[in-house]
């Protein structure tokens, strides 16, 4: 399973990417996190469905004070990500 998640709110400049990367290390997920020019943060996560869902849930819970909206959608890109990284 692969999902693309867009986090909206005060999500840049608060350690969001670092926190997401730390959380990812506790799950069997790969993909990336990156700041977008519109002030949102994009996460692409791939892995077992339960692991991806738990990963997204933990991000939302851990960073809830900064998040005003979470948009989750299937990600149809066929690229395979070997690790979880910060993209630029």
Q: Is the pTM of this model over 0.85?
A: yes
22 is catalytic: no
Query: What's the structural domain count of the chain?
Result: 1
Each residue's pLDDT expressed in tens, for the chain with a length of 88 residues: 999 999 999 999 999 999 999 999 999 999 999 999 999 999 999 999 999 999 999 999 999 999 999 999 999 988 999 999 999 8
pLDDT of residue 57: 98
Q: How far apart are CA 84 and CA 88, in angstroms?
A: 13
The domain of 20 spans 2-86
Q: How far apart are CA 48 and CA 29, in angstroms?
A: 8
- Of 22, 35, 36, 65, the active-site residue reads 35
pLDDT of residue 36: 98
pLDDT of residue 25: 98
CATH number at residue 27: 3.30.70.100
Specify the pairing of strand 67-74 against strand 41-47.
unpaired
69 is catalytic: no
- Of 17, 65, 69, 77, the active-site residue reads 17
Q: How far is CA 69 from the centre of its chain?
A: 13
Q: How far apart are CA 45 and CA 27, in angstroms?
A: 10
């Amino acid at each position: 399973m692969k999902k693309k998640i867009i986090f909206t709110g005060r999500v840049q400049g608060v350690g969001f990417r670092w926190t997401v990367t730390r959380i990812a290390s506790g799950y069997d997920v790969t993909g990336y996190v990156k700041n977008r020019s519109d002030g949102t943060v994009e996460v692409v996560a791939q892995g077992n469905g339960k692991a991806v869902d738990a990963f997204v849930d933990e991000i939302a819970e851990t960073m809830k004070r900064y998040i005003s909206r979470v948009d989750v959608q299937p990600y149809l890109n066929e690229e395979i990500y070997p690790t979880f990284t910060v993209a630029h």
